[in-house]
Amino acid sequence: MKRRRYDSANDVERTPLERLRQFPREPDMLVYGLRSLGALIIRALLRVYHRFEIIGHENLRTNRSLVIVANHCSHLDTLCLLAALPLRKLHRAFPAAASDYFFQSVPRLWIAAVVVNALPFARQVHVRQSLSLCEELLKNPGTILIIFPEGTRSTTGEIREFKSGIGALVAGRDVIVVPCFIDGSFKAWPKGWRLPRPRKVRLIVGSPRNYRARRTDKVDICTIAAELREAVNELGETNGSH
Amino acid sequence: MLPQIALHDPVFRAYFLIVLISLAVGGTVLGFLRMVLKKDTASMFRTYWSWLVIAAIGLLVVFAGRIPTIVGVTLLAIYAFKEFARASGLYRDWWMTGAVYAGIITVGISSLISQPRGEEPGAGWYGLFVVVPVFAIALIPIIPILHNRSRGELQRMSLAIVGFIYIGWMFGHLGFLANARNAYGFVSFIIFATAVSDVAAFTFGKIFGRHPLRSEISPNKTWEGALGAFGVAMILPWLLRFSFPFFGTRELILTGLIVGIGGQLGDLSISVIKRDIGTKDMAATIPGHGGILDRIDSLIYTAPLFMHMAGYYYPLR
């Protein structure tokens, strides 16, 4: 007789902590529940405490895979972008988070894996591997990647140079890229502060673009990165930083 | 079962001391093996540290009373079933998993509430508790029917039913036992005796083990270990007779048989499942033990058999 086949979870013999650290994570009812609950609380807090506002929300309305690119100066940025997504898409949305910062200490790991659903991104070594992981994810329709191409939080509020990795990810690929500008998060919760201050935060969603026709050589991916930075910058300027 | 009663209850206080002494003895033996005989006991110590945590939580929950005990058993059953579902692939179907969760929660609720028409005195609705499997098993095929699916559903339905009956319902008897008039004696004894017979099986197997018990199911278990555990289990009811002073010789022998044979059967039945799935442990939740289910597997047999044996000779309430 043929042996029965069981479709076991692929992390059965791992400890709970290892399970949080591994990626992709196995779906878990409790984690999904906590994440949805956390998202509701975060959304309410953003609305009340930061008078959070979204401009250009309709630009995110798609069921195809999506790369969201934004400026980064605060932990609030990730939360703002997640708050712009419908709850049911939350578990398919992966903000790329520095694995050296978010995937080492246990409390940060827990928040990154459970609340934010972060994708561990190795920004110093093995950047290629992390990028190919992103590429794998984008193959499933409905995946949302949230990427801050500056590579770290800005300490001045200015947008830094975008890393070329973002260009390599989207060049020649049929995937929607949405540039976003987050306004006010630097004043609300700058790097190094323990807690956020009650300042207004706005999210400006730009019009979607596509780099399917572009070549994937070094020059082109750097150009794409520069173009995306320009797009994000422009969103900030036209919508008037306060 | 209430904290203020537990404080003055001689049976609970006795078990508190017995558990502390057993852990101290176990720790001393392990320390002796390590310090004097220079044996490699690293893995045994990992298991031992986890035993300390398990004992502390167990004592605390039983001390906290009837409701925490039933809620604790229900949560344990849910988590153990989740491990089973993850290992067997049933967890990929959240509706089916949810149906079994609902069944397990019903087992917990039927242990908590009283019979609404007051025909049975006291807490715990025994009538509902005993028929929960009917409703749970009736609920499970409704999931594929509502989804209009049949491919692979026999396997999922079977896994859900096996998981519910073993882990939700049979193990759930431990919670219902908290409703007994003699709750401290029954609950403490069955947990303690099952744990001791597990440790005895391991120890005897380690020292004398030669002949494999069931080579195709669990290669590490031996006849020597099983017989050792059986012997210990037959003695325990007499040693701990104060837990149920009204038990006669017949009940004491039956209790020994239930713990001695039932404990091994529970262990082996979960091993059959694990072996067919092809995993060594159901999960890695408890360091040195494996998953929650690997720890509670013996209770799957001993708790319900003991409860119905005791209930047959003496009304639980």
Mean pLDDT, consecutive 10-residue stretches, chain B (317 aa), reads 87 95 94 87 90 96 94 97 95 96 97 85 87 96 96 94 97 95 94 96 93 91 95 96 94 97 95 91 90 94 96 89
**Beta-bridge partners for A181:** A204
Residue A240: band (very low, low, confident or very high) from pLDDT cuts 50, 70, 90: low
Q: How many Å apart are CA B243 and CA B120, to the nearest integer?
A: 24
| ipTM over the 0.90 cut-off | no
Closest CA to B234 of B212, B258, B218, B211: B258
Q: Does residue B279 sit at the A interface (CB-CB below 8 Å)?
A: yes
Provide the token pair at A184.
Answer: 């006010």
Tell me: pLDDT of A2 over 60: no
Cα A61 vs. chain centroid, distance in angstroms? 16
The larger pLDDT score, comparing residue A37 to residue B40, is at A37
**Beta-bridge partners for A81:** none
Tell me: pLDDT of A216 over 60: yes
DSSP letter string, A157-180: SS--PPPTHHHHHHTT---EEEEE
Range of the domain at B254: 3-313
SS (H, E, C) B95-161: HHHHHHHHHHHHHHHHHHCECCCCCCCCECCHHHHHHHHHHHHHHCCHHHHHHCCCCCHHHHHHHHH
Q: Does residue B147 sit at the A interface (CB-CB below 8 Å)?
A: no
- What is the amino acid identity at position B314? Y
Q: How many Å apart are CA B188 and CA A126, to the nearest integer?
A: 54
A13 and B280: CB-CB below 8 Å? yes
Element (H, E) at A119: strand A119-121
Domain positions in chain A are 22-238
**Beta-bridge partners for A144:** A66, A93
Q: Does residue B88 sit at the A interface (CB-CB below 8 Å)?
A: yes
Looking at residue B18, its pLDDT comes to 96
Looking at residue A1, its pLDDT comes to 46
A6 and B92: CB-CB below 8 Å? no
Nearest to B284 among A4, A7, A15 (CB): A15
Q: How many Å apart are CA A82 and CA A89, to the nearest integer?
A: 9
B89 and A9: CB-CB below 8 Å? yes
Residue A3: band (very low, low, confident or very high) from pLDDT cuts 50, 70, 90: low
The dihedral over CA atoms of B257, B260, B264, B265, expressed in degrees to the nearest 10, equals 10
CA distance B287 to chain A (A): 8
A60-114 pLDDT, tens digit each: 988 899 999 999 999 999 999 999 999 999 999 999 999 888 988 899 999 999 9
Q: Enumerate the H helices of chain A as residue ranges.
A: 16-21, 29-50, 76-83, 99-102, 106-110, 127-139, 165-170, 185-188, 218-238
Distances (CA, A) of B47 to A58, B21, B143, B147, B202: 55, 17, 40, 44, 12
**Total count of domains within chain B:** 1
The larger pLDDT score, comparing residue A127 to residue A206, is at A206
**CATH top-level class of A22-238:** alpha beta
Q: Are B180 and B310 in contact (CB under 8 A)?
A: yes
Q: pTM for this one?
A: 0.91
Q: Does residue B50 sit at the A interface (CB-CB below 8 Å)?
A: no
CB-CB neighbors (< 8 A) of A29 in chain B: 94, 97-98
Looking at residue B307, its pLDDT comes to 96
- Section A132-158 average pLDDT: 91
Q: Can you say whether residue A81 is alpha, beta or left, with left for phi > 0 and alpha for psi between -120 and 50 degrees?
A: alpha
Q: Tell which B residues from 209 to 268 touch A, by Cβ distance under 8 Å.
A: none
Tell me: pLDDT of A53 over 90: yes
